Amino acid sequence: MSTSAPEEPSTKEETSPLLFPSSSLPDPVTLSCLARVPRLDHLALSLVSKRYRSLVVSPEFYKIRSLLGRTEECLYVCLSTKTYPTSRWFIIRRENTKTTLENAAAGDLIPIPSFPSQLPELSSFVALDWGIYVIGGFINDNRTSHVLFLDCRTNTWRHAPSMGVARASAAAGVVDGKIYVFGGCEDFDCSNWAEVFDPKIQTWDTLVPMRDRSEGDNLIRETLVMEEKVYAVSLWDGSFYYSPRDGKWGRKKNPETQSYYCVIEKLLYSCDKFGNLVWRESEDSEWKEVKGLKALRLKFPNSASVRSSVYEKCVSKLSNFGVNIVVSSVRATWGVWWDVWCTEISLERREEKGEIWGTIESEAVTVVDHAPSGRVPVEVLCSATVYV
């Protein structure tokens, strides 16, 4: 009877054909398989091979994830403090947030790599596709035309094409996949006062000029996009807009006097620095209170009680997180330490009474700095949702 030598154990690593399809499969099939993997595992995928790494960061990969309904909402927050040489960036995913104020703890906001040098002051921020654009601003008291791009697929930075003119505190909004920027120029009569950027071809073009613009229209404190128009609220409460569809400029009948703005499902929301959240359907309608948020307002003492309270807390930014709204605020406790709170609020419209009710879903917090010898100015520069 003959015997055969036992087979040598295979040295090849066995992998799941579903998670790691064969390298012989065409890219479209491989992308379709990889797109079903949760985003938290994308880093592990990129370490499997160079081919996987290139596929995971490719535009086609995120297009397929979007078509399959696999994209995930991530809220990016940018903070500025005088004690840090660079602006600090954080990310919030819903699985990392806490459900109650009592359970909220430092570290809910996850730090990501910041731009190597300090971001320009008074930059404009817009989220588009899988990244965030940082547009213009002041560098050493001089306006810049530079544009930076944070790729949220890999949380890495690169330079995007510069604008045709330097600007700071400019309006910036996205309509139909293009970025519209206007104002913030040294010379408000310059021919490039308004520009549009097409990320598909990576070029800037000059917009039709706004004929009746004034010096007061040049410094923008808030920008919002509603009904496919880019609205700008100037530093002096004037309000105007640009309609890309019509290629026309216009002015609002009533000036905006609220502090912070956000558009969710075609409704305009606003909030003052004490956490009073209101809403309206159009510029002609009256502001209405978002009901059910007494708990939110209690955390923002009024000006009379701030001096005697243990803490001060003021709203610094308003943004959307999917169909929810996020109130970002800065808190100082005894002037000893500063932290930033991001409160996520779900919204329910009750048509029969013409009301909107809000419910606090979660709160995330991060300790920004300690300042035992005095206060440290903290500012929320950006709060934006990216789908990746």
| Residue 34: pLDDT over 90 | no
Q: What is the pLDDT of residue 25?
A: 80
Cα of first residue to Cα of last residue in the chain, in angstroms, is 63
- pLDDT band of residue 104 (cuts 50, 70, 90) is very low
Q: Are residues 318 and 361 in the same domain?
A: yes
What are phi and psi for residue 56, nearest 5 degrees?
-65, -30
Structural domain contains residue 198: yes
Is the pTM of the predicted complex or chain greater than 0.85?
Answer: no
Q: Are residues 49 and 89 in the same domain?
A: no
- Give the mean model confidence (pLDDT) for residues 163-189: 94
Q: What is the pLDDT of residue 309?
A: 44
Q: Are residues 62 and 79 in the same domain?
A: no
Last residue of a domain, one of 71, 99, 115: 71
Q: Are residues 65 and 108 in the same domain?
A: no
Walk across the sheet containing 220-226 and list its strands: 220-226, 229-234, 239-243, 248-251
Q: What is the pLDDT of residue 69?
A: 84
Last residue of a domain, one of 71, 103, 120: 71
Structural domain including 162 reads 73-387
Q: Are residues 298 and 176 in the same domain?
A: yes
- Give the mean model confidence (pLDDT) for residues 260-273: 91
In the DSSP assignment, the letter for residue 163 is P
Two structure tokens written together for 274: 């004490």
Q: Are residues 161 and 122 in the same domain?
A: yes
pLDDT above 70 coverage of the chain, percent: 80
- pLDDT band of residue 370 (cuts 50, 70, 90) is low
Structural domain contains residue 315: yes
Structural domain contains residue 81: yes
Q: Which of 97-101, 152-156, 181-185, 378-382 has the highest mean pLDDT?
A: 181-185
Taking CA atoms, 317 is separated from 78, 164, 267, 274, in Å, by: 11, 29, 17, 12
Q: Are 137 and 120 in contact (CB under 8 A)?
A: yes
Structural domain contains residue 353: yes
Structural domain contains residue 305: yes
Q: How far apart are CA 115 and CA 167, in angstroms?
A: 20
Q: What is the pLDDT of residue 375?
A: 57
Q: Are residues 199 and 265 in the same domain?
A: yes
Structural domain contains residue 172: yes
Q: Are residues 81 and 205 in the same domain?
A: yes
257 HSE (CA, 13 A, CB side)? 4
- pLDDT band of residue 10 (cuts 50, 70, 90) is very low
Q: What is the pLDDT of residue 7?
A: 45
| DSSP H or E segment with residue 243 | strand 239-243
What are phi and psi for residue 136, nearest 5 degrees?
60, -155
Q: Are residues 48 and 160 in the same domain?
A: no
| Residue 15: pLDDT over 60 | no
Structural domain contains residue 3: no
pLDDT in tens, 148-161: 999 988 888 999 99
In the chain, DSSP finds a helix count (H) and a strand count (E) of: 6, 26
Q: Are residues 217 and 96 in the same domain?
A: yes
pLDDT in tens, 45-92: 878 888 888 888 887 888 888 888 888 888 999 998 877 778 889 988
Structural domain contains residue 158: yes
Q: Are residues 174 and 200 in the same domain?
A: yes
Q: Are residues 33 and 137 in the same domain?
A: no
- Give the mean model confidence (pLDDT) for residues 272-280: 89
Tell me which of 22 and 222 has the higher pLDDT.
222
Torsion of Cα atoms, 379 then 383 then 274 then 259, to 10°: 90
| DSSP H or E segment with residue 44 | helix 42-46
How many structural domains compose the chain? 2
The enclosing domain of 367 has a CATH number of 2.120.10.80
- Segment among 21-25, 306-310, 344-348 with least mean pLDDT: 306-310
SS3 content of the chain, % helix, strand, coil (to 5): 10, 45, 45
